[in-house]
Amino acid sequence: MDHGTNEKKAALHNLGCKVNSYELEATRQLLEAAGWKIVPFEPGADLYIINTCTVTNIADRKSRQMLHRAKKMNPDAVVAAMGCYAQMKGGELEKDPAIDLVIGNNQRGKLLEVLNGFSAGKAARDALIDINAAHEYEPISIDRTESHTRAFIKVQDGCNQFCSYCIIPYARGRVRSRAPEAVVREVRSLAENGTREIVVTGIHVCSYGRDFHEEDALLHLLQKLDGIGGIDRIRLGSLEPASITGEAAAEMAKLRKLCPHFHLSLQSGCARTLRRMNRGYTPDEYAQIVGNLRQAFDDPAITTDVIVGFPGETKEDFEESVRFVEKIGFYETHIFPYSKREGTRAAAFPDQITERIKKERAAVLLELNEKNRAAYLEKQIGHPAEVLTEERISEEDAMWWIGHTREYRKVLIPDGGNCGPNRLVRVTPKRVIKGKYLV
């Protein structure tokens, strides 16, 4: 790594979730502040950082491949593995000649110290910690985003849930919440730099404040953010259903800037499967939570995740899940065939489902998702909506500005006039195209 007069160049690559994206953006800004030039993930960089993912065995494989690809692009560069796969497999990665540095979770803030130590010939053994012993939230932050339109704000890390299929509590450790004052400072800084929408995210957002032993901590944080000037919208990331009581929904509905778009992870609409997943609620309880939101908000967008082919899922179990998804009428359903993850309880469950059956079941739900989404969008025709514009795209042989409504519906606005990026525009959709855009 060249520490002479030439500018130091770093290339970054992210794998995984929105939290990972936020963490890599914080890493990018940390490096820029220290004088590094951020370059594309191509040959020629002095430093390659891969923010890894371990949510599935496939994610592990992609993480390994990307680390080795980086070393091939420049054998003289420093290659650093960061994130969840680095945390889980750090011992193995430290023996891999293609990887120079392994930086685990809760240690990103030490990156510059680790790099300087490596340049001085020191091994960075303290860059991996026992994540289960971590009790403090890692102090990383961002002050801008490239798009200006929307920024993800990480407010919490870790998970105490231990769903039987999930490795994340082992990679991320226990719940650790960010001080509300730090969140407010970051959001104010983003607003000053032009950001108009924030997405409050974390590994298990509904657990925010549990380590403070504060009741309604997430609601209190949202109330603080609602008062920050320059921010027009607050959106919530993925939520665990059990935390949305009728009272909580009613209080959230009082927030002027909170978007009526809620991603409530379902995973299965079958009571037996939910018990075996260790999800902590029944389909009836989930339906009540959706009812709480629909009572408090005017036609909110409810989106979800569903796993198909969980070990032991019978044909009857799957059909029960499909009926439930149909009954709720989600705006969008993200469907995931179950992926066996070594180290989780479900990996040892009997009656693992074949890939063929998983594919067939996923196809059934994908078709239902198309139907549900089209029905939800059709209901919006003729109703005025506020759109936050993002970028120009080509669709149906024409140029459009694309943006999202408060309910996260995609809207296309004809190019021309005084439309541009990062603007709030009032529109009245007249039709749906391709089953996914309002025009």
**Which residue, chain included where needed, has tokens 């520490």?**
3
Cα–Cα distance measured from residue 399 to residue 72, given in angstroms and rounded to the nearest whole number: 40
3-state secondary structure (DSSP) of residue 395: strand
3-state secondary structure (DSSP) of residue 287: helix
- The CATH class of 150-378 is alpha beta
Rounded to two decimals, the pTM is 0.92
Q: Which tens digit of pLDDT belongs to each residue from 179-214? A: 999 999 999 999 999 999 999 999 999 999 999 988
Q: Are 109 and 87 in contact (CB under 8 A)?
A: no
pLDDT at 128: 57
Q: Which tens digit of pLDDT belongs to each residue from 69-113? A: 999 999 999 999 999 999 999 989 989 999 999 998 988 888 998
Task: Read off the DSSP letter of residue 354.
Answer: P
H-helix or E-strand spanning residue 404: strand 398-405
Q: Are 226 and 269 in contact (CB under 8 A)?
A: no
Q: Are 367 and 374 in contact (CB under 8 A)?
A: no
Radius of gyration of the chain (CA): 23
Q: Are 200 and 237 in contact (CB under 8 A)?
A: yes
If one looks up domain 9-129 in CATH, what number appears? 3.40.50.12160
Does position 31 have pLDDT exceeding 90, yes or no? yes
Q: What's the burial of 287, exposed, middle or buried (CB within 10 Å: 0-12/13-18/19+)?
A: middle
Side chain identity at residue 164, one-letter code: S
Q: Are 296 and 249 in contact (CB under 8 A)?
A: yes
Cα–Cα distance measured from residue 155 to residue 182, given in angstroms and rounded to the nearest whole number: 9
Q: Which tens digit of pLDDT belongs to each residue from 143-167? A: 998 777 999 999 999 999 999 999 9
Percent of the chain at pLDDT > 70 equals: 96
Q: Are strands 176-177 and 150-157 parallel, antiparallel or unpaired?
A: antiparallel
Does position 131 have pLDDT exceeding 70, yes or no? no
Cα–Cα distance measured from residue 257 to residue 323, given in angstroms and rounded to the nearest whole number: 34
Mean pLDDT of the chain: 93
Cα–Cα distance measured from residue 196 to residue 189, given in angstroms and rounded to the nearest whole number: 11
Ordered strands of the 197-202 beta sheet = 176-177, 150-157, 197-202, 233-236
**Which residue, chain included where needed, has tokens 């226990």?**
174
**Which residue, chain included where needed, has tokens 């140029």?**
399
Task: Read off the DSSP letter of residue 359.
Answer: H
H-helix or E-strand spanning residue 84: helix 84-88
Task: Read off the DSSP letter of residue 14.
Answer: E
Side chain identity at residue 145, one-letter code: T
Q: Are strands 9-14 and 437-438 parallel, antiparallel or unpaired?
A: unpaired
3-state secondary structure (DSSP) of residue 69: helix
Of 241, 235, 264, 54, which is closest to residue 155 (Cα–Cα)? 235
pLDDT at 2: 47
Of 219, 274, 275, 272, which is closest to residue 245 (Cα–Cα)? 219
